[in-house]
Structure formats: C-alpha cells, structure tokens
Structure 1
C-alpha cells in the first residue's frame, strides 16, 4: 500500500504493521488550527495532499511563517522523541487529507526500534532545514523572490499548477501587508509567471518562476533530497 506520505512510505513493513492500527485518515479544512503554542501535542499529522503552516505569533498578534510541511514529512515527529509541548501554532494552509497518529504510539514504537527513530529524525531534519533556510531568506532576499520560492514549494507538494492560496496566507508567509502581496502578485502576473484571482494562484511559467526565485528554493529542495532520498515531485 502506498501511503502518499514520504515518512510512512519509507518505513519497513514491520514498522508500518506496528503503526497501522493507530493510523487514521482525516480531512483537514483550511485555516483549522491543529496545535497552539504552549499546548501539549496529542497527535502527529502526516500530510497526503494538504499543506500545514507553522507560524510564530507575536504579542501584538503579528504572525510570521517559519516553514510549511507537506507530504515529504509531518508535524509532531520530533515531539514524539522529546517534549510534547508545542512552541508554535500549526494551521492548515491548504485543505486536504492527512494521516493522524497518536503521538504516544509513535513514541513507543520509536523507543523500541532504532531504525524508526532514525527515520523520524531524518524527516524532522528536513523541516528544520527549511526553517533555517527560510530565516536567512526572510532576512536577505526581497519579497518577490521569497514569494516565488514559496509558490514553487507549494506546487511541489500538490502536483498541480493551481494553488489554493489566500492573500492572508501569503502576507503571513512574507511578513508583509496584503497590499504588498497584491503588488507583487500583479507584477508576477504581468510578466506571465502566474495568474491570480481571489484565493487561487495558477503557476503559468514554472521555469520563469524558478529563475525569479532566490537560491533558497534549490537549497531546500536539494537538502531535502539529500536527507530523504527523492520525495515524489510534481509533474511539470
């Protein structure tokens, strides 16, 4: 059986059999907050065709996204090996399916199997890589390049040129006002790289978007492949 999540698909048959009774497929709706900062995480979420957004919330309510998680990994993996307390907010950015696994079940299985522990760490490292690269990107690169990077990563996870993204999510990701998002999206559209209507971005020229992106897209993709092999990539 193909689970359509790289973490699950990378497990040995005996590891999957141990986890299978505890796995449940769930439909996640956009904007649903699954975990909040300061709360104890009870479940690990392993996306199939949804995308999770990990954001840090400031005292004044301002938000900034540190990373997104799709089918290449999952949220809660490292929490299963250490503290179960969340230090960030996890919200569903793109609705879709995911596998849900009780955190304690993954903890018990990982403690009994060093190879499973290693797999958990590798997939968690892939998301940490993205967070580290995004931190540098947000500090050093202009918003247009950052938006191009983010759109490419999103398309990688959805196998579709049509990306259901709102201005609100894009402004959180970029850490800018919605008016700035509108201006950047309009410029990319004028150059034929995307088309944009309310709540939907269509990638019209992926090679052009890759040229517009900064080096961080390639760094994240290559780093993920170095850690995990070659997670399934979208059709052009």
Structure 2
C-alpha cells in the first residue's frame, strides 16, 4: 500500500511488517501543540497531508520557526535513536492526517534492523538540511523573501494553490510582528502574486513568487531531494 509519507514509502516490506501493527492514523487540528520543550517525546508523527511546525520559544515568549515537516519526513525520528527529550515546541501548522507510532515501538524495531536505522537517519537529515538553510535565511534575507520561500514550500507539500495559513503563524515563521506580516502580504497581493484573506493565502503567480524568494527555496528543495534520493 502507499502510505503517502516518504519515510514509510521508502521502507522495504520487511521493515513495514514490523511497524504496521503499531501505526495508527491520527487527525490533527491546526494549532494543536503536540510537543513542548523539555517533555519526553512519546510518539513519532509522520505527516500525510498535514504540516508540522517546529518553533523555538524564548524566555519572553517570543517564537521563531526553525523548520517545517511535511510528508517528506516526520517528527521524532532521531528521538527514537537517541534522547527522547524534546528541545523545541512542535505544533500543527496545517491540519490534516498523519501516521503516529509510539516512539518506543520504533526504537525497538530499529535495534535489530540496520536498514530501518539508515532510513530514519536519512529522513532526519532531510529536516536538518532545511533547518540549517533556514537559519542562514533568517539572518541574511529580507522578510519578504523568506515569506515567499515559505509559501512555496507550503504549496509544494499541499499540492494546492490554497494555503490555510494564519497571520499569527506567519508572524512566528518570520519572527516579526503581525503588522509586518500584514504589510508584506499586502505588497505581494498588490503585485498579483497572492490573494490574502483571513486565514487563507491563495498563490496566484507562482513564477513571480519564485522570483521574489531568495536562493534558499531552491537550496532546500534540491538539498532534500538529494538527501532522499534512493541509493543506486
């Protein structure tokens, strides 16, 4: 069967047979907080059509997003191989479905299956590629470029022009005030790149959005593709 998650779809039947009894489909709602920093991760989440957001929370309550995870990978994969303690907050950016498996069951399976370990590391590396590039992007590129990059990545994962994104989450992603998000979205809308209404963004001109984005969109896309490329 097709699992609609790249990690699960990349596994051989022998590995799937071990995991299948423990996999359950979960329906996640937007803004659900699934993990908090300092908590022990109990479950691994493998998105089907939802998007997870990993954010770092500062002492004053301000937040910034370090990466997002869609169906190309999952959250908690490396936790199953090492420390189970979360050091970030994980929330649902776009609601939808995900496969959920208890972390301990994935850890047990990995102990005797080297190929499963390889796949876990490979897909965890794909999220690290995004995190590393996003760190550079947040430091070096303008908020408009970063928003364009983020909208393109979200569209890729949802395969839809309509993106259910709130102003609140866009401000977390950019690490700016909501008024700044409003100004940037209004500018992109005035140029015909997007249509923006409360809680929804429609991509109207993808090529224009790609031209507005910085180099990081292509760098993340190409890096993840290379990381997840099947071995010859």
Asked if Structure 1 and Structure 2 have the same fold, meaning a TM-score greater than 0.5 normalized by the shorter chain, the answer is: yes
Give the superposition deviation at 1:153: 0.5
Q: Secondary structure at the match of 2:65?
A: strand
Give the superposition deviation at 1:85: 0.2
What is the match of residue 53 of structure 2? Answer: 53
Distance 1:121 1:211 in 2: 33
Q: List runs of 5+ in structure 2 lacking aligned partners.
A: none
Give the superposition deviation at 1:229: 2.2
Question: Could you report, residue by residue, the CA deviation over 1:127-182 in whole angstroms, capped at 9, with x for unpaired residues?
Answer: 01101000000000000000000000001110100000000000000000000000
What is the match of residue 12 of structure 2? Answer: 12
Distance 1:191 1:63 in 2: 29
Question: Could you report, residue by residue, the CA deviation over 1:29-72 in whole angstroms, capped at 9, with x for unpaired residues?
Answer: 01100000000000000000000000000111000000000000
Whether 1:42 aligns to 2:47 is no
What is the match of residue 193 of structure 2? Answer: 193
Q: Secondary structure at the match of 2:39?
A: coil
Whether 1:168 aligns to 2:171 is no
> TM-score, normalised to structure 2's length?
0.98
What is the match of residue 206 of structure 1? Answer: 206
What is the match of residue 140 of structure 1? Answer: 140
Q: List runs of 5+ in structure 1 lacking aligned partners.
A: 231-236
Whether 1:127 aligns to 2:127 is yes
Q: Secondary structure at the match of 1:66?
A: strand
Distance 1:159 1:4 in 2: 13
Give the superposition deviation at 1:117: 0.3
Deviating above 4 A after TM superposition, structure 1's stretches of 4 or more consecutive aligned residues are: none
Distance 2:150 2:195 in 1: 15
Distance 2:65 2:156 in 1: 18
What is the match of residue 67 of structure 2? Answer: 67
Give the superposition deviation at 1:111: 1.3
Distance 2:94 2:190 in 1: 25
What is the match of residue 92 of structure 1? Answer: 92
Whether 1:79 aligns to 2:79 is yes
What is the match of residue 31 of structure 2? Answer: 31
Give the superposition deviation at 1:23: 0.1
Give the superposition deviation at 1:110: 1.1
Question: Could you report, residue by residue, the CA deviation over 1:192-228 in whole angstroms, capped at 9, with x for unpaired residues?
Answer: 1000000000000111101110000000000000011
What is the match of residue 216 of structure 1? Answer: 216
> TM-score, normalised to structure 1's length?
0.97
